[in-house]
Amino acid sequence: MDEARRFLRYITPGLVFLVETLVLIWILLPNWPQEHIFKLKKDAGIGFILATIIGSGGLGFVFSVVHHTLLWGCRWIWLTGPVDHRNLIARLRSRNIIRIFDIQSGNVMLLDYWTPDKFEAWAIVTALWHERIVTSKKNSIKIKSAEPRADSLSNLYHSLGAARIASVFAVIAALSVASHVADFSPDMSDVIRFIIAIMIATTLVVFHFYAFCRAGLAAQKVIEEVLTDALVDETLIGPVKTYFHPTDSDQTNAATSGRCF
């Protein structure tokens, strides 16, 4: 992973968290940032800036871990994101473009009623894609030429995924700081600032989730279209064979109980 990708995926989400937290705190408590954070920056100078960048990288990695945990461990699409290659696998199999064989049995094809889960479909598509990047076949030039764009879209998708987590934690952090350093006030100006802060925080979270979903759909559509074109070209000499072993042993036993092809 080059420096630009590392910055996008790990540094940016941490900076998003810091910036949005400070903005929300400034709205809730206009004088508090100037009295504490800006004074600290003036006293520490360049050391404060370096510590902020290093710290944002650590925070970004934590947000990335949370993002990937939700990506593979949650069933709610608004948390996991839209990327799902199961329909692509089903289309390729129904058109006899690919045939999936059980890697343990070698020549036993997984029958049509076996369907991969979301992670298994991602693994199959990723394997089919990267197997064709370095080959010299004419049809694989399509994948090789599309790889830089697909890679940049993938990095953007995961960066936005971590940033959506950062935006939620920014709201929690800002409200926590405000609740600890200020007392409840029924003053109308304080109430208005609180309402504005909540509206801005909600808007930012919604925008982050929307951008995350749109980037995921863009990456998925580009990858699936290019991969389908390349595989269709290969089927001129017969269906593409790929070998995979499902994680569910019971499902595997049921799916591989048919005849050999």
Among residues 51, 69, 19, the alpha carbon closest in space to that of 200 is found at 19
**Structural domain boundaries of the chain?**
3-255
Q: What percent of the chain has pLDDT over 90?
A: 26
What pairs with residue 98 in β-bridges? 240
List, for residues 129-187, the tens digit of each pLDDT value. 988 887 656 557 888 888 888 988 988 999 999 999 999 999 999 998 888 876 666 77
- Please tell me the least confidently modeled range out of 44-48, 74-78, 155-159, 225-229: 44-48
Q: pLDDT for 244-260, tens place per residue? A: 877 654 444 433 333 32
Tell whether the model's pLDDT for residue 124 goes beyond 50: yes
The band of 193, judged by pLDDT with boundaries at 50, 70 and 90, is confident
Nearest of 118, 132, 117 to residue 226 by alpha carbon = 132
The pLDDT, as a whole number, for residue 203 is 96
pLDDT at 260: 28
Q: What is the pLDDT of residue 139?
A: 58
- For 72-104, the DSSP string reads HH---HHHH-S---HHHHHHHHHTTSEEEEETT
